[in-house]
Structure formats: structure tokens, C-alpha cells
Amino acid sequence: MPADPRDDFAAFAAAEHMLFQLRDPYRMIRDEVEAILRRQVSDTEVTAIACGEHPKFLTLGRKTDDGAKVIVSHFGFCVRARIALTYDAGAGGEELAASLTFLFGRVDEPGRETRRVFLDVHGDAEQAYTDEGFQARFVAFRTET
């Protein structure tokens, strides 16, 4: 899974299998983060994403009729990251401490898949990365879908 050379997704190295059927997960992470930030400041450009702590994963599934396999219906991950960015035509810049949460639903139902992304920064980043914070979001997302 190649990543933008400016990014560091090494935290996922031992857990890439948990990204299931995502075709280009690192590009998706970068694109989603930049889109969220651009909703705040339209000319934001993410210059680098560095994932620090090990990502957390949650999965929900059901056994097949024969009980031999599990079919994943929902999954998600949460990871701490430092996001370097520029804005104001490159005149301004900042580095954000963040938690990134990606939730995927109905992945076993082609055409009905859902996704929700959260980008928490500064003080909110710590709470979002806790087991309790991540699990609460996952359960709420599962209930909505």
C-alpha cells in the first residue's frame, strides 16, 4: 500500500490487514483529512501526516451459516497523528496534534456502504483516542446505519 512520500503511516505496518477492502487507504486518509480541513479554510494544503501511536481497531461481523467464517459488516480505526499544513496561499502554516477516526458500515452490502470520518484536534484529540471515546463513536455509528 504505497503512501504519499511526505506521510508516515508506519504505525499501520503490522496491521494493514485490518484495513480490509480499502483500495488505497493511505490516499483515502490524506484526502479525507484535507477535505475536512478545507471546509474550515478553503485553501488548506496538507503537507504531511505522521501517525504516532498504534492505531486502534474495532470490527463487527456475523458468522456464515456453516459457522466457519465471519463476514465483516462494520469496522473502524482510530489513530493519533500530527498533521502539517499550510494555508493562505502558503503564507501560513501549522502543525496539529490530532486523532483521526474512520468508521465504515455495511461493507458487506455492495452499493449500501457508509462511511464517517472524524478529525479531532488539540484537547479533543486525546478524548477521541481513548478506548471509551472510540468505542462510543463506533457504537453510535453502528446504531445510525
Q: Is residue 20's pLDDT more than 80?
A: no
CA triplet 58, 36, 15: central angle to 5 degrees? 30
Q: Which pLDDT value is given to residue 43?
A: 96
Q: Which pLDDT value is given to residue 31?
A: 95
Share of the chain above pLDDT 70, in %: 98
Q: Which pLDDT value is given to residue 11?
A: 93
Q: How many CA atoms are closer than 13 Å to the CA of 80, on its beta-carbon side? A: 13
Per residue in 63-80, pLDDT (tens digit) is: 888 888 899 999 999 999
Per residue in 78-129, pLDDT (tens digit) is: 999 999 999 999 899 999 999 999 999 999 999 999 999 999 999 899 999 9
Q: Is residue 27's pLDDT more than 70?
A: yes
